[in-house]
Amino acid sequence: MNSKKKKIKLYPIIFSIILLGYSLFTVLDTFVIAHDTVKLSEVTSTDSASTGITTTASTTGSNSSDTSLTASTDSATSSDSTGTSSDSSTASDATVTDSTYEADGVKITITTKVVDNTTVYIADIYLDDPSKLLSGLANDTLGRNVSDTTSNIASDVGAILAINGDYYGFRDTGYCMRNGYLYRSTKTSDDQEDLVVYSDGTMAIINEGDVTAEELQSAGATQIYSFGPALVNNGKISVSENEEISGKSMTSNPRTAIGMVSTGHYVMVVSDGRTSESEGLSLYELAEVMQDAGCTVAYNLDGGGSSTMVFNGTVINKPTTNGNRISERAVSDIIYIAQ
Amino acid sequence: MNENMEKAQAVDYSYIYNPKKAVPGYAGITAFCLVFFLIYRIFSHNVYSVFMTYLFAWPLVLGLVPALILLILKTKNQVAYYGHIPSRGCLNLYRSGIAILTMSSLLKGVFEIAGTGSAFQLVMWPAGAFFLVAGIIDFFLAD
């Protein structure tokens, strides 16, 4: 009888250990353990003769398509894979102030204003060569749970101006293409809106249910960001006044957005939030800011604690981490202007 | 009263399952889930998930409510419901199902609030349902 009782009590103990162990592993796998990693420099190669990059794309997981793309993003590999900054002589040719940058083919003006009790940083960007609009990656690596601060990534790639991207590495779904390399072609849902940047510098909003990532790649896409929603499309605000991310987020938040006025003319916006000084914007208020800036296409990127803008090596906004503490959060990727 | 019921009444099975003990246990787990949600809400910047909000519903609906019903149906000092006797295996399976589903809901809530997801969490739904259903089947099939 005693031995029977001892055996009976073993089950809940063993089961509890297995359940807690499995749950702990799931949490670590989701938030900590880096996996599905691809070193971008190993899958892209510079074609100096054509001043373009030839990218052999192979996607992860269930996506096993092997496609070749020659994109006319000549400076796509200007982000040195070893993490070194770009040539400082280029920077020395530029005229730089606290809020402006002007060099051959690049003109950036940053204005700061208060909108709806929120500090908003608006970067107005003119590029003669639209391929200078690029993605930067933490440790030059695509992968889940590979992250670094926006300012560190910006420093690694020698960015003039950078904002945080869509934090693709925090999710397992959603199209993901960076600098011509298609990393993920698993759709989140048919309704998921993505921002596509084509090799000629144009931006467009697509629904993942309408087109595959491979088709976008064939059409000349060099970047696909999957966060959203679209803020402005065809010059009109495309979010409702009460719309929020999956209907779950608070209305006032730090936000990050990117938009296009016309080919070669872009707008990057970051707003502070969750502090007494800066309340934060709703998606609709952010859309209004983008529309006022002249955007015909604008897209919401990862916000909250991720929202960061770096200009000339300095974080110019007040990013919040773990509540309202002013500190930069590590992210998977950035969008930046190359020198 | 069928044959099983008569057999059950002949033996005291309360060492296997005693609703009087189960009720406060499930009530405690339900209260813990509710408190966990309320504390987590403070740190989640008003981002919410139904899986976190209604985390307490799993032990409440699958554990506390059935335990209360069984407590009402319980014959004096004996455990026999509709002529069936819950075996230790049956109880282990059923409780494991509740535990897996509750943990799955908690993880889903945490991931949704953070804006991510995990395939490892998704498999916990069918696993939990399997244990739960196996426990119920075992209860009705056991002689």
Q: What is the ipTM of this complex?
A: 0.87
Asked if the C-beta of A247 comes within 8 angstroms of chain B's C-beta atoms, the answer is: no
Count of pairs with CB atoms under 8 A, one residue in A, one in B: 62
| A23 contacts in chain B (CB < 8 Å) | 103, 107
What's the gap in Å between the CA of A315 and the closest CA on chain B? Answer: 23
pLDDT, mean over chain A: 83
Nearest-angstrom CA–CA distance, A116 and A296:
22
Top-ranked range on mean pLDDT: pick from A195-199, A236-240, B20-24, B109-113: A195-199
pLDDT digits (tens, 9 = 90+) for A281-338: 989 999 999 999 999 999 999 998 899 999 999 999 998 876 566 788 899 999 999 9
| pTM recorded for the entire structure | 0.78
CB pair distance less than 8 Å for B92 and A12: yes
Which helix (H) or strand (E) element contains residue A10? helix A2-31
The tally of domains found in chain B comes to: 1
Which has the higher per-residue pLDDT, A86 or A214?
A214
- HEC per residue, chain B: CCHHHHHHHHCCCCCCCCHHHHHHHHHHHHHHHHHHHHHHHHCCCCCCCHHHHCCCHHHHHHHHHHHHHHHHHCCCCCCCECCECCCHHHHHHHHHHHHHHHHHHHHHHHHHHHCCCCHHHHCHHHHHHHHHHHHHHHHHHCC
Task: Look up the domain containing B57 and give its range.
Answer: 3-141
| A27 contacts in chain B (CB < 8 Å) | 107, 110
* pLDDT given at position B1: 46
* pLDDT given at position A250: 52
Which has the higher per-residue pLDDT, A67 or B111?
B111
CB pair distance less than 8 Å for B118 and A23: no
Compare CB distances from B47 to A11, A167, A249 and report the shortest one's residue: A249
Give mean pLDDT, residues A22-48.
Answer: 83
All structural domains of chain A with their residue ranges: 1-33, 38-338
Whether the per-residue pLDDT at A210 is higher than 90: the answer is yes
User: With bands split at pLDDT 50, 70 and 90, how would you rate the model's confidence at A113?
Assistant: very high
